[in-house]
Amino acid sequence: MPNDEGRLVPDFDHLVLRVDLAEPWLADVGFGEGFWLPLRLNTGSAQAQGEYGFRILEGASERAVQRRNSHADWRD
C-alpha cells in the first residue's frame, strides 16, 4: 500500500493469497475495503464486483490492486 510519499509499505489489515487453479487468482482474506470475490491474477482489465471495479497492475517487482466505483477515478 503506498504511503504519503508514494512508497509501498505493508498494509496491516489485509492478507491476500495467490490461488493456483486452471489459472491464477488473487483472494483477499483480510479486513477493510478489499474485493469480495477472487480476482483473476493475469489480467490488466477491470473486473466488476457490485458497484466497484478492480484491476491488477503489474510493476517491475510487484503487483498493485486498484479500485474505483462508477463515479470515481482508479485509486490504490
Angle at 52 between CA 47 and CA 3, to 5 degrees: 95
Mean pLDDT of 27-51: 84
Residue 52 lies in a domain: yes
The closest of 69, 32, 65 to 49, measured between CA atoms, is 69
Q: Above pLDDT 90, what percent of the chain?
A: 28
pLDDT of residue 23: 93
| Domains held by the chain: number | 1
Domain containing 24: what range?
A: 16-69
Q: CA 15, CA 67: separation in Å to the nearest integer?
A: 17
24 has pLDDT over 90: yes
Most confident of 6-20, 26-40, 45-59: 45-59
Q: Which residues contact 63 (CB under 8 A, 6 or more apart)?
A: 41, 56, 57
Q: How many residues does the chain have?
A: 76
User: Does 9 fall in a domain?
Assistant: no
Query: Is 6 among the domain residues?
Result: no
Residue 47 resides in a domain: yes
Residue 44 lies in a domain: yes
Does the residue 37 lie in any domain?
yes
* Domain-embedded: residue 1: no
Q: Specify the range with the lowest mean pLDDT, choosing from 10-14, 32-36, 53-57.
A: 10-14
Q: Does residue 10 fall inside a structural domain?
A: no
